[in-house]
């Protein structure tokens, strides 16, 4: 007997006569199979991934820029003051302070309902808001990674005649990257899950889809459980990929 | 070769170097001794501008390298530096540690750089470790690799900043042997060290630094056997 036929026969029965499992089956069927609703989840999931990738790209570019400015500013020779660098550094500091000091949700509401109140492209506005939020955290992660490295490494590079850029490229950044990879992966996971928040400004991602289906069937349990499982699978998959990368980068730690 | 005139260096309000005048001649082996905090390392680090001097001039091969317009990267190529904590690049194999700068800075071909590196590694007895990572070597081996890394740039002068201070006692000898070989070949060397035996054996001239000044200098025999300055007499009585 196929699933649809089973559903037909069970739904014809009196609800009071159904066992717990039969009842569960009916609810799941309505949340997943009926009216091809499963497609709605995957459409939402597509948007979720799209927003994640856009926000990630935006956040990494912004984070790297801010980290470079702040590190360059902090590493100036004592006594030398570059006015322009100082000014840009101040802006970066204000940016990081505001973003880290206010809730993600409030930021998204401001982007969606105040700054881009007339825009209908909710997905892009959401990606922008998430990217700008993520950039502040990525910047601090990168800055921490660069600062945690033994200054002797850069000194060794410079003492061999490598210039500042070469020293950064061959000595500092590869080691800093390895050091920050766990926190960067963590930030990516947070970002992936935070995309669920863009449903508050009508971004049509997977939570939005689940709530729409719940509203239609008057039953939120399975739509929300399905959504949770989707996030869980994505995060586990990503964690696995990350652990492979980390293991490869650890080659030099062998003793 | 290196001419230092009235060199001063301050960290904030703390003056570490209080006017150093010194000349290092080609092929000379200069050993710098003295108590901790006396400015030895700072003096050495000023020579290749890892510390920017607060005042005074350093002239290397006729060029004032303290002039902001001079190309410091060019001068550093000719000054090899060996650090107390080795500072090998832990994410690279020994071979890549050795060839990075020759390939990137001297624009040597990888093959040429590797041949040179392997020949030098062989001389310090580590040719078989070329594909290891620094974490797999002992302290003495790391420091020998660090010396080879500096030599791969074919420097005119080698600066040693307490090269044996972070080593287990039984590994000090193997590093000092490499340095002695280097000295025999006629390399110009400036060595900051606490190894008085090495200073006596290898040094052409010993500088005693304390409180940011060179208090006494001279051939090792004279300086160790007939110290004049009371501070040096006091120092030697404690270390020997």
CA A197 – CA A190 distance, rounded (Å): 11
Determine if residue B154 is left, alpha or beta; phi over 0 gives left, psi from -120 to 50 gives alpha, anything else beta: left
Across the interface, do B77 and A254 touch by the CB < 8 Å criterion?
no
Closest CA to A90 of A113, A74, A103: A74
Q: How confident is the model at residue A45 (pLDDT cuts 50, 70, 90)?
A: very high
For residue A78, what pLDDT is reported?
Answer: 61
Mean pLDDT (whole number) for A103-125: 92
For residue A79, what pLDDT is reported?
Answer: 61
Q: How confident is the model at residue A123 (pLDDT cuts 50, 70, 90)?
A: confident
User: For residue range A181-202, what is the model confidence (pLDDT) as tens digits?
Assistant: 999 999 999 999 999 999 888 8
Find chain B residues with C-beta within 8 A of A251's C-beta: 133
CA distances from A209 to A42, A43, A189 (A): 9, 8, 21
User: For residue range A84-103, what is the model confidence (pLDDT) as tens digits?
Assistant: 888 999 999 999 999 999 99
- Output b/e per residue, A229-245; b: 16+ Cβ within 10 A: ebbeebeeeeeeebeee
For residue A77, what pLDDT is reported?
Answer: 66
Across the interface, do A160 and B52 touch by the CB < 8 Å criterion?
no
User: Is B131 in the A-facing interface, judged by CB distances under 8 Å?
Assistant: no
In degrees, to the nearest 5, what angle opens at C-alpha B63 toward C-alphas B58 and B66? 40
A251 burial class (0-12, 13-18, 19+ CB within 10 angstroms)?
Answer: exposed
Mean pLDDT (whole number) for A98-114: 94
Per the CB < 8 A criterion, the answer to whether A119 and A203 are in contact is no
Find chain B residues with C-beta within 8 A of A153's C-beta: 87, 89
Residues B106/B110/B113/B118 CA torsion (nearest 10 deg): 160
Closest CA to B20 of B36, B32, B9: B9
Residues B172/B176/B177/B181 CA torsion (nearest 10 deg): 170
Q: At what angle are helices A221-249 and A206-217 packed, to 10 degrees?
A: 160
Mapping DSSP to helix (H, G, I), strand (E, B) and coil, where does residue B5 land?
A: strand
Share of chain A above pLDDT 70, in %: 97
ipTM: 0.90
Classify strands B29-33 and B14-24 as parallel, antiparallel or unpaired: unpaired
Q: What is the DSSP letter of A115?
A: I
CA B32 – CA B77 distance, rounded (Å): 22
CA A122 – CA A125 distance, rounded (Å): 5
Query: End-to-end alpha-carbon separation of chain A, Å?
Result: 60
Across the interface, do B76 and A158 touch by the CB < 8 Å criterion?
yes
Report residue B28: phi and psi, to 5°. -80, 145
User: Is B81 in the A-facing interface, judged by CB distances under 8 Å?
Assistant: yes
- The shortest C-alpha distance from A57 to chain B (Å) reads 27
Find chain A residues with C-beta within 8 A of B79's C-beta: 159
Flag residues of chain B having pLDDT under 50: none
Mapping DSSP to helix (H, G, I), strand (E, B) and coil, where does residue B55 land?
A: strand
Closest CA to A150 of A176, A170, A169, A174: A176
For residue A80, what pLDDT is reported?
Answer: 66
User: Looking at the partner chain, which of A160, A252, A255 has a beta carbon nearest the beta carbon of B101?
Assistant: A160
For residue A1, what pLDDT is reported?
Answer: 59
- The shortest C-alpha distance from A146 to chain B (Å) reads 15
In a 13 Å sphere around the CA of B143, the CA atoms on its Cβ side amount to 24
User: Looking at the partner chain, which of A152, A162, A255 has a beta carbon nearest the beta carbon of B105?
Assistant: A162
Across the interface, do A254 and B135 touch by the CB < 8 Å criterion?
yes
What residues contact B190, with CB distance under 8 A and at least 6 apart? B2, B24, B30, B32, B44, B47, B157, B158, B159, B160
Residues 26-55 of B with CB under 8 A from A: 48, 50, 52
């Amino acid at each position: 007997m196929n699933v649809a036929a089973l559903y037909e026969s069970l739904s014809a029965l009196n609800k009071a006569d159904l066992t717990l499992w039969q009842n569960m089956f009916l609810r799941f069927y309505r949340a997943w199979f009926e009216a091809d609703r499963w497609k709605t989840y995957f459409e939402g999931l597509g948007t979720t991934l799209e927003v994640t990738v856009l926000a990630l790209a935006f956040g990494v570019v912004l984070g790297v820029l801010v980290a470079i400015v702040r590190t360059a500013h902090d590493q100036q020779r004592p006594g030398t003051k570059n006015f322009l660098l100082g000014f840009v550094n101040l802006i970066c500091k204000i940016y990081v302070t505001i973003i880290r000091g206010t809730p993600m949700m409030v930021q998204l509401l401001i982007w969606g309902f105040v700054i881009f109140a007339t825009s209908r492209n909710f997905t892009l506005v959401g990606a922008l808001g998430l990217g700008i939020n993520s950039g502040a955290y990525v910047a601090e992660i990168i800055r921490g990674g660069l600062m945690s490295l033994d200054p002797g490494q850069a000194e060794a590079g410079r003492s061999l005649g490598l210039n500042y850029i070469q020293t950064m490229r061959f000595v500092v950044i590869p080691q800093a990257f390895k050091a920050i990879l766990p926190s960067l992966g963590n930030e990516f996971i947070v970002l992936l899950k935070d995309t669920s928040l863009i449903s508050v400004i009508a971004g049509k991602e997977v939570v939005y889809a689940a709530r729409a289906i719940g509203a239609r069937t008057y039953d939120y349990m399975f739509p929300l459980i399905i959504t949770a499982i989707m996030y869980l699978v994505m995060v586990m998959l990503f964690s696995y990929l990350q652990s492979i990368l980390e293991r490869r980068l650890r080659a030099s730690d062998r003793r | 070769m290196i001419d230092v005139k009235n060199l001063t260096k301050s960290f904030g309000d703390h003056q570490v170097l209080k006017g150093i005048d010194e000349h290092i001649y080609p092929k000379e082996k200069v050993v710098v001794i003295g108590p901790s905090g006396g400015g030895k390392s700072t003096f050495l680090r000023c020579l290749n501008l890892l510390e920017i001097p607060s005042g005074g001039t350093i002239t290397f091969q006729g060029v004032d390298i303290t002039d902001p317009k001079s190309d410091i990267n060019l001068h550093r190529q000719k000054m090899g530096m060996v650090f107390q904590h080795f500072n090998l690049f832990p994410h690279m194999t020994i071979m890549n540690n050795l060839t990075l700068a020759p390939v990137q800075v001297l624009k040597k071909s990888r093959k040429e750089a590797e041949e040179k590196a392997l020949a030098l590694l062989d001389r310090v007895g580590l040719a078989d470790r070329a594909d290891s990572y620094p974490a797999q070597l002992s302290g003495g081996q790391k420091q020998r690799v660090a010396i080879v890394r500096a030599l791969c740039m074919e420097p005119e002068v080698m600066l040693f900043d307490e090269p044996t201070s972070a080593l287990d006692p039984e590994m000090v000898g193997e590093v000092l042997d490499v340095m002695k070989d280097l000295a025999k070949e006629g390399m110009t060397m400036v060595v900051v060290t606490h190894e008085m035996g090495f200073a006596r054996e290898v040094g052409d001239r010993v500088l005693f630094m304390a409180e940011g000044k060179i208090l006494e200098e001279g051939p090792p025999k004279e300086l160790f056997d007939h110290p004049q300055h009371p501070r040096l007499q006091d120092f030697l009585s404690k270390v020997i």
